[in-house]
Amino acid sequence: MARRKPARSVLLRRWVAVGVLALVGLLYYRPLKAYVDAKGELTQRTAAVQQLQRQKAQLEHRLGASTSLGTLAREARALGYVRPGEHLFIVKGIPQWRQRLRRSLSPHGH
């Protein structure tokens, strides 16, 4: 059996349909790519926002804990503040003193 060739108008319509589909594909490519890129960036930014929210919660917790009187007193002492009636003594050379003490307590005496 011999195969019939499709009519010219049918071939032309097929090629026009393929061309229209290609054109539609090209027209949708950029908006679709922009959408995918924006969605990826949104995912990244959402993760960053969640991390910043966790950090904020931790900092707020630390702030709440740091306003206790005991914490404030420790911080003040670390800064060199003293209570009224107390005297501040600054002791220097503690690491060297510890080395000499270790040497004098060692069994060899060095």
On whether the CB atoms of residues 66 and 72 are closer than 8 A, the answer is yes
What are the per-10-residue average pLDDT scores of the chain (110 residues)? 73 92 90 92 96 92 78 82 85 92 80
On whether the CB atoms of residues 26 and 18 are closer than 8 A, the answer is no
Q: Is 67 helix (H, G, I), strand (E, B) or coil?
A: coil
This model's pTM is above 0.75: no
**What pLDDT is stored for residue 61 in this prediction?**
85
Amino acid at the residue 106 = S
Residues 6+ apart with CB under 8 A from 82: 88
**What pLDDT is stored for residue 93 in this prediction?**
93
Residues 6+ apart with CB under 8 A from 75: 66
